[in-house]
Amino acid sequence: MQVQPTLTLERLFSSDDFKVQPFGPARWLPDDAGYTILETAVSDPKIKELARYDIHSGERTLLVTAAQLKPQGSDTPLLIDDYQWSPDKTHLLIFSNSQRVWREKTRGDYWLLRLADGQLTQLGGDAPAASLMFAKFSPDNRAVAYVRQQNIYVEPLTGGPIIQLTDDGGGDIINGTSDWAYEEEFRLRDGFRWSPDSQHIAYWQFDTSGIEPFYLINNTDSLYPRLLPLPYPKVGTTNAACRLGVVPASGGATTWFDVPGDPRQHYIPKMEWAATHDEIAIQQLTRRQNENRVLLGRIADGTTRTIFTETDAAWVDMRGDDMQWLDDGAAFTWVSDRDGWRRLYRCRRDGQTVTPLTPGDYDVIRVQQVVPATADGAAGWVYFIASPQNATQRYLYRAALDGSGVVEQVTPPQLAGTHSYDIAPTGRWAFHTYATIDKPPVLTLISLPDHQPLRVLTANEELHARVAGLHRLPTEFFRVTLPDGAELDGWCLKPPDFDPTRRYPVLFFVYGEPAGQTVLDNWGDKRYLWHVLLAQHGFVVMSVDNRGTPAPRGRAWRKSLYGQVGIVTTADQAAAVQVILAERPYLDPSRVGVWGWSGGGTMTLNLLFKYPDIYQVGIAIAAVSDQRLYDTIYQERYMGLPDDNPDGYRDGSPITFAHQLQGKLLLIHGTGDDNVHYQAFEKLVNVLIQHNKPFRMMAYPNRSHAIREGENTSRHLYELMTRFLQENLGTKQPPQG
């Protein structure tokens, strides 16, 4: 392999030079027997086969071959997108022909492979192609449940008649999955749960009637435009009505849970069986999202009782890892920043006794795995991700479940960077991924809690060699102190031939909202490599995380922007740039650019419009130009209701300040963006025209929020941005002296 030191857009977006080697999907086997993984077939690189690996020896056994994946009458094996094992490992559920529903590929075909005799059967009966969603086995191995066209079905593994559990789905009624807003903001997709005894299914139902449809227009796929109506609740408007029900898996009437409050003014983002077959645990949020009530609901009659309430003056964080049952349902874990830091707690089932498990002044970022105490006396532990000393990094810790306050760092401290884990159910093994901002990921099988490597599973050796061979400097991490004393994390990427006596144009990469950080010591893939390319062309590239980003720096840090998104966030960014320019004389204050995507696009517009004396050039991709155009769940969580905070919505929206544009602006948007609608782009364009402001714009036809669909789209996008920056920030050096 020949290493090329210079990056090109062709290498980045039209070749596999910098592709991360995939791993999985992998599934742990019970009792530490090993794991299974999809691997490319030797006979055909398009086909996946399923192999089993022994933990200790690494011995490979081919479990499912390409020949076993050929449906009757077909010469072509199924292309596996994902798979599940039945609880007794006698059947394999195969997901194929997947289609995207908004963000993810969640709709497709499901096939059942019986390992004993190789029988391969398609589920769904006479269902249309690619119409099933979220299929999963019953705990007793007797059936599979799935969603088909907004209704829930159960299909026995023995081939008996398919049972339709709900029949009112379709149109405005959605059973077993979610509406757009819940899927996007609460990550709720799979909307039903088998009971532990396999006798019942609890599920969400949404009624989207009353939500004004937003019409996406597809101008490219037919002779006449196609309109796609999307029930999308914009800020301050009607939400879907959400309720929970439970139905016998053998069919029958649904029992609806008596959850108090107006179902359009509350959210139910979480529901699970409460470690028993006769109660479910429900989390209910107020519309302002400042109160979260945990209720237990009886399936016998639908009655509920509140056992725990979490409140916050700003908003309550909703996390996928916050509630996990302990001691056969006698207690549960809970994550809260009620005391200023996001701590992990143990709560009794009645919610009356709350014991801190992580008492230190640091944030629990994510709960990884609960490993209960065993009969032989082994202590119970909960594994979690945290980084008490450095908000840009991530490490594995574990805390004792007994409430003693014992906390141990599991990741070796000398491995600075970002660590992620997929831990086996027993807690004895894990897939460990380690990366830094300058080094691609390496995936290793390790033992726990000693964190000893057994074998490297994905080394990414060619990628490491190509990246190591690039002409570049290491990324510098730093902190910048604002005039009010706040310290913000940042990184800086300098040109490889950096000369401190010269002056360079600087480009800031921004996001700045509560949904993400940009300053992370983690592999940034092609976005990072594009920044390296810009550095090779003479740019300094930097990024700073303002207050309000989800960095593990305490509640006050994260929630300081409540009601002021786009106001305090932009003030932090602008103040940081002024300090940076004063401290780094090699940066040219007359050539300062900024770019961002989604919330970062919004930040870019606000900075360019509000601080024209600081920023001269900006690229805003898929930006929310007016906060009132975005969805209820996200925007109201951080800004409050629009009638309660009209000044905040106005002053946080870049469209309010578009008349102040002085610099060079490139606006980019996908016309098929279901998340941040093309409407936001057009409304801003109208205001810029009204004020006779020159700017450039690019619309990508029928592309989504990611702007990645279609041949050559990513390369075209990044070539467009690169040209714009070269033309308007320039890399030629001004006269010296």
Residue 104 has a pLDDT of 86
CATH for 106: 2.130.10.10
d(CA 612, CA 628): 24
Q: In this structure, is residue 527 part of a structural domain?
A: yes
Classify residue 246 as exposed, middle or buried by CB count within 10 Å of its CB (0-12, 13-18, 19+): buried
Q: Is the dihedral of CA 406, 415, 367, 477 positive or negative?
A: positive
Classify residue 197 as exposed, middle or buried by CB count within 10 Å of its CB (0-12, 13-18, 19+): middle
| Residue-wise DSSP of 617-639 | EEEEES--SSGGGSBHHHHHHHH
d(CA 356, CA 363): 13
Residue 234 has a pLDDT of 98
Q: Which of the listed residues 115, 142, 164 is the one where a domain comes to its end?
A: 164
Q: In this structure, is residue 387 part of a structural domain?
A: no
Alpha helices in 272-352 (DSSP H): none
Pair 284, 295: CB distance under 8 Å: yes
Contacts of 458 (CB under 8 A, 6+ apart): 21, 22, 23, 441, 442, 443
Give which of 108, 37, 107, 112 is closest to 69, Cα–Cα: 112
Number of residues that this document lists for the chain = 737
Question: Is the pTM for the entire model greater than 0.75?
Answer: yes
d(CA 607, CA 618): 9
Q: And the tokens for 165?
A: 């559990």
| Residue-wise DSSP of 199-219 | SEEEEEEEE-TTSPEEEEEE-
Give which of 499, 481, 578, 573 is closest to 540, Cα–Cα: 499
- Domain with 608 in it: 474-728
Q: In this structure, is residue 307 part of a structural domain?
A: no
Residue 736 has a pLDDT of 35
Contacts of 41 (CB under 8 A, 6+ apart): 47, 48, 49, 65, 66, 77
Over residues 555-575, the pLDDT tens digits come to: 999 999 999 999 999 999 999
Vertex 56 angle, CA 50 and 58, to 5° = 40
Residue 378 has a pLDDT of 75
d(CA 430, CA 232): 40
Backbone angles phi, psi at 338, to 5 degrees: -60, -25
Q: In this structure, is residue 250 part of a structural domain?
A: no
Least confident window among 37-51, 78-92, 239-253, 676-690:
37-51
- Give me the torsion for CA of 287, 293, 297, 302, rounded to 10°: -40
d(CA 16, CA 584): 37
DSSP 736: P
Using the predicted structure, report yes or no on whether residue 318 has a pLDDT greater than 90: no
Q: In this structure, is residue 549 part of a structural domain?
A: yes
Pair 380, 372: CB distance under 8 Å: yes
Backbone angles phi, psi at 735, to 5 degrees: -55, 140
d(CA 248, CA 193): 12
Residue 105 has a pLDDT of 86
Give which of 707, 611, 709, 612 is closest to 667, Cα–Cα: 707
CATH for 641: 3.40.50.1820
Q: In this structure, is residue 488 part of a structural domain?
A: yes
What spatial distance separates the first Cα and last Cα of the chain, rounded to whole Å? 45
Alpha helices in 584-737 (DSSP H): 599-610, 632-639, 646-651, 678-690, 713-728
Per-residue confidence band for 735, with pLDDT thresholds at 50, 70 and 90: very low
d(CA 700, CA 681): 12
Mean pLDDT computed over 191-200: 98
Q: What is each CA distance from 709 to 13, 15, 138, 692, in whole angstroms?
A: 13, 17, 36, 33
Vertex 192 angle, CA 241 and 247, to 5° = 85
Residue 167 has a pLDDT of 97
In the chain, the percentage of residues whose pLDDT exceeds 90 is 92
Using the predicted structure, report yes or no on whether residue 376 has a pLDDT greater than 80: no
Q: What is each CA distance from 720 to 326, 461, 595, 620, 621, in whole angstroms?
A: 53, 31, 13, 12, 12
Using the predicted structure, report yes or no on whether residue 240 has a pLDDT greater than 80: yes
Per-residue confidence band for 732, with pLDDT thresholds at 50, 70 and 90: very low
Over residues 322-355, the pLDDT tens digits come to: 799 999 999 999 999 999 999 999 999 998 899 9
Pair 430, 470: CB distance under 8 Å: no
Q: And the tokens for 325?
A: 């049952």
Over residues 403-454, the pLDDT tens digits come to: 999 999 999 999 999 999 999 999 999 999 999 999 999 999 999 999 999 9
> How many Cα atoms are found within 13 Å in the side-chain-facing hemisphere of 476?
12
Residue 143 has a pLDDT of 98
Q: Which of the listed residues 164, 181, 214 is the one where a domain comes to its end?
A: 164
Tally of domains within the chain? 2
Give which of 151, 170, 173 is closest to 162, Cα–Cα: 151
Over residues 115-136, the pLDDT tens digits come to: 999 999 999 999 999 999 999 9
Q: Which of the listed residues 136, 164, 192 is the one where a domain comes to its end?
A: 164
Q: In this structure, is residue 555 part of a structural domain?
A: yes
Backbone angles phi, psi at 530, to 5 degrees: -65, -40
**Residue 644, Cβ neighbours under 10 Å: how many?**
13
d(CA 666, CA 372): 54
Q: In this structure, is residue 330 part of a structural domain?
A: no
Over residues 268-297, the pLDDT tens digits come to: 999 999 999 999 999 999 999 999 999 999
Alpha carbon 237 to its chain centroid, in Å, reads 25
Residue 114 has a pLDDT of 94
Using the predicted structure, report yes or no on whether residue 717 has a pLDDT greater than 80: yes
Mean pLDDT of the chain: 95
Residue 8 has a pLDDT of 96
Q: Is 435 left (phi over 0), alpha (psi -120 to 50) or beta?
A: beta
Residue 375 has a pLDDT of 67
Over residues 215-225, the pLDDT tens digits come to: 999 999 999 99
Residue 144 has a pLDDT of 98
Alpha carbon 350 to its chain centroid, in Å, reads 32
Classify residue 723 as exposed, middle or buried by CB count within 10 Å of its CB (0-12, 13-18, 19+): exposed
Per-residue confidence band for 31, with pLDDT thresholds at 50, 70 and 90: confident
